[in-house]
Structure 1
């Protein structure tokens, strides 16, 4: 527990100023975190970091994390056929071509795993950066929903939790904790949205808070399922007492894209 607390304090001391400063620093940090998270998938898949698929996926996830503004600048001089979406598809093609060159030692299933991981991680961190560009209150809106839901679910679950939520994925999570965490998040973040108005009116933002709180818990369970499938306790060990980057950002990289899809990040 002591190691966990110390790691959390150090991480916050580094991460919060990065969020406050934003700009190039946050873009670089987000890209690095995305690459590390992708490397955790590579490790769980039992592939070498120097393998073709690992290198391609890490470059791909780095590019996907870059903010939209950079791509708009690049699109001015890129050939018409190499715009953002088509450029990313090249990485998908490289994965598919690799199944042939490797004589199926790198399978179609492997290609699917790495491609999905690039999308899952890359777009998650991309919209984290976009949320900061939309405004400091916007990114904290998304982050606080995740943190408050997680903390509320943990505390309430410990006190009154009895009914397993998803025992095959995360045995310690309960329906009571899940519902309690969402209720706490809705109450606290409604107050936040009142004092720091977001894109929509307060009633609409309450609905968005509810959706994002539930989505964040799905993000946690998605990553839990990933770990159970690969039979690992944590996605990595870069954060002592906390595991890997995916362990810490699993909810965030689901919440931020959904916040964008709901129009909360313009």
Structure 2
């Protein structure tokens, strides 16, 4: 517990100022987190971090995270989609060159990882560029939902939500976490007028959607950890696991914020 608390305090001391500053310092941190997250998947798959497939995956996640404006000045590219396709093609080509060591399933897993991690962190950075109140809306929903689910689950949780994936989670905790988020986040934002262009009802609906989505993101990451037989995605954050362990919900919530028009 002591290690967990110390790690959380140090992480907040580094993370919060960069979140407030935004711009390129936050972009650098976001790119680093994206590369570390991909490296965690590579380790789960027992892949060398200096292999050709690892290098392609790192370039791919960086390309997707970078803001769209970056690519407008690159001749013949204009979009991260072009780079992503080229890298996915090279991963497929690798299956032919070293077919005994790297197969189609490996290429598919790394391509999906680039998309999953890269898109999540791309919209995390984009949310912050819209203002601190916007990115904090998504983050508060995730944090409060997680805390509420833990407290309610410990108190009255009996019915398992997904016993084969995450045996400690319960339906009572899941529902309770979303209820707590819905009761706190929209009211906070209306009281302090943090997102004045949205009505209370809009914030209420957004909170419901994002709270449920965040819990799905948690289960998704738990699912592939189960698949690879690991407890944590990594150990870069002592007591907390890896980057994927800490940002699993965010990687789903942030793109969904763009889909529902909050980052538009």
Taking structure 2 as the reference length, the TM-score comes to 0.96
Give the corresponding residue for 1:127. 123
Please state if 1:217 is matched with 2:208.
no
Give the corresponding residue for 2:48. 48
Please state if 1:28 is matched with 2:28.
yes
- 1:33–1:175 Cα change, 3 Å: same
- Structure 1 unpaired stretches of 5+: none
Give the corresponding residue for 1:78. 75
Aligned residue among 92, 112, 126 for 2:108: 112
- 1:224–1:198 Cα change, 3 Å: farther
* Structure 1 residue 83, shift from structure 2 partner: 3.3
SS at 2:245 equivalent:
helix
Taking structure 1 as the reference length, the TM-score comes to 0.95
Aligned residue among 229, 232, 256 for 1:231: 229
What whole-Å deviation, never above 9, does each CA across 1:47-70 have from its counterpart, x for those lacking one? 111111111101111121112222
Contact 1:148 1:185 in 2 (8 A): yes
Give the corresponding residue for 1:4. 4
SS at 1:54 equivalent:
helix
Give the corresponding residue for 2:133. 137
SS at 1:47 equivalent:
coil
* Structure 1 residue 170, shift from structure 2 partner: 0.5
SS at 1:28 equivalent:
helix
- Structure 2 unpaired stretches of 5+: none
The CA RMSD measured in Å over matched residues stands at: 1.2
Give the corresponding residue for 1:14. 14
Structure 1 runs, 4 residues or longer, greater than 6 Å off:
none
Deviates further, 103-112 or 176-185: 103-112
